[in-house]
Structure 1
Amino acid sequence: MTLPSGTATTTLAPANPWALVPPLGNLDAYISAVNRLPLLTHEEEQIYARQLRDHNDVDAAGRLVMSHLRLVVSIARQYLGYGLPHGDLIQEGNVGLMKAVKRFDPDQGVRLVSYAMHWIKAEIHEYILKNWRMVKVATTKAQRKLFFNLRSMKHQLKADQADGQTHRNTLTEAEVAHVASTLNVKREEVLEMETRMSGGDVALEPQTDDEGEAFAPIAYLADETHEPTHVIESRSRDALAGDGLHRALDVLDPRSRRIVEERWLKVNDDTSGGMTLHELAAEYGVSAERIRQIEVAAMKKMKKALTEAA
């Protein structure tokens, strides 16, 4: 639009930072585009960070993010050995970058690049642990640290080998001891993580429609309800709950038996249970503590009788 003569011109607002990288058709084009984005100077970074913190300026946040996209690409490239798509690693790293930008404090005296590396790696680590195997190989913080450190050390050990056995996947006893000593963990923890990492996912259901169904794990998993030990334990438990309980009650005197029955074996129509300690105490003319003592002594006698019956 042409402005009338004499009209004062105004400074245009900066272009939308999110439009600096247009929609692209492939990953290579994206990486090439972000590598051409200009880096921010320390002063510019401070200005944009304060605008975001003090005024919640979305455009300032966009410029901080855009200027560090190449950092995410660089970090994501370090995790290509896990067999996961490079584009997905970059996407998760970008999520970590945006979290870092949101929490960045320009008054702490550090550059955003140093602060963001932690958040980027944390998001990528979480994505790898969720998607590297169907079943997580590491759940605790110590296991996660061991997972990434052990994998890195294994690659280094194999690279340092000069005996022609570079295709060996498992660690030797000496290597296990070296890893445990270097990472300050137990030898058993290294072996357990090594086992988890070397294993793979196994589908319980058959993956094809041919006659291989009979060989799927679902076909030969044990049925615990018909396992001999489980059957014997069930029968023994049922016997103790029936005849054994009656024999245990028979060893008690009438007062102790009634207290146990009222306290533990009686259910009223309103499912509120039997009598309370105070109700029984009022009936027998003793204190509630005395009723509790009788109950404890009766339970000991019954336990002894049940043990002998078993």
Structure 2
Amino acid sequence: MSFQTGTTSVALATANPWSLVPPLGNLDAYISAVNRMPMLTVEQEQEYARKLKNENDLEAAGKLVLSHLRLVVSVARQYLGYGLPHGDLIQEGNVGLMKAVKRFDPDQGVRLVSYALHWIKAEMHEYILKNWRMVKVATTKAQRKLFFNLRSMKQGFKADAAEGETHRDTLSEGEIASMAEQLNVKREDVVEMEARLSGGDVMLDPGPSDDGEDSYGPIAYLADAKQEPTALIESRQRDRLASDGISTALAELDPRSRRIVEERWLKVNDDGSGGMTLHELAADYGVSAERIRQIESAAMKKMKKALAYYA
């Protein structure tokens, strides 16, 4: 399966993948098609992942890849503000997705969508680091004229300066006015272009500083955190745990264990205080505080097992 966008092509190297997405020549059609791909259930995902891991089943790998193509499109959309083609971002993300599918272990207890996000974003970040520039220097005819003349004219102003006088790196008001008149452009355009040429590039990922401390660049906040897929998935998982998950896990406990867990961890009084302490529960049931702690520990383990389904 492949698609073309200008000079961009995306190919998924899978054997006999689902035939729901035919060869396409339009990026919008591709996105529409992948958004209609069926999503896998937990059981299906586990089945295909085990077939790939144990039998090297490439058809199963294709189904895992194709069912997550919409995730790549969603992640790529968060990086559109940096001047790079959407199709190229999707292509790099698809490479990361295929790497994730190849390395995915179904026995680790996590969904492929969570595991794949790291690989998808890693490939996109690498692409951005290699191809994106903070400043697009000249995009219009007037800006190109300024670009090719500003440096030479600045050198001329320096040469005209009196001997022994230190010339400023930035243009004076008079020099700006003179340059704008000679090039027949607006004063504001001269100021803007000088700022662009003086700014230089900014490293997206500066890495550790000389003193060993971590330093941060734009790579740390390229995507919109509010719409970042990982945050959205985590939010949905928290909602499920807070509703269906907790209720289901508590239903697995006997009445005494359930009350102990609720009093110790779930109850909040009007004044903001919690429920009963170990000693208060021990006095209520006529046992030691250590026995209450043991019951609580066993109940927590049982609940953790029940909550694994919602992870």
Q: Would you say same fold, with TM above 0.5?
A: no
Higher RCO (Cα < 8 Å, 6 or more apart): 2
CA radius of gyration, larger in: 1
* TM, length-normalised to structure 2: 0.42
* TM, length-normalised to structure 1: 0.42
